[in-house]
Amino acid sequence: NTAFVGLPMVQALEGSAGLPAAMALDQLGTWLVLATGGSAVAAWMAGDAGATSVNGVLRRMAGYPPFLALLGALALRGVPLPEPVDGLLRQL
């Protein structure tokens, strides 16, 4: 819902300059809640008491695909991409 309501509101109130910070806060905040609390609740509901410990939640977070994508994106930040790839990503 943030993409349909929140981001257009930020753009209307703050202009395009406010979008990067809003997107980063939205994605990182959503990820933190889902990866930590969501994993613990899902494990508890499934009856896996060991997965609700801090170590269990951290282990699940380490294998969480969006977390791995975030790590990959941060690792590749600043790496020049081939022009066709860069052009495509800029259009997105």
As given in the structure block, the two tokens for residue 6 are 């929140």
Model confidence at 92, pLDDT cuts 50, 70, 90, reads: confident
- Give residue-wise pLDDT tens across range 10-58: 999 999 999 999 988 887 777 777 777 777 777 777 777 666 677 777 7
What is the tens place of the pLDDT at every residue in 50-79? Answer: 666 777 777 777 888 877 888 888 898 889
Q: Give, in order, the Cα–Cα distances in Å from 48 to each of 29, 37, 61.
A: 25, 14, 16
Per-residue model confidence (pLDDT) at position 51: 65
Please name the residue that has the structure tokens 């695909």.
65
> Is 80 exceeded by the pLDDT of residue 2?
no
Q: At what angle do helices 19-32 and 65-76 cross, to 10 degrees?
A: 140
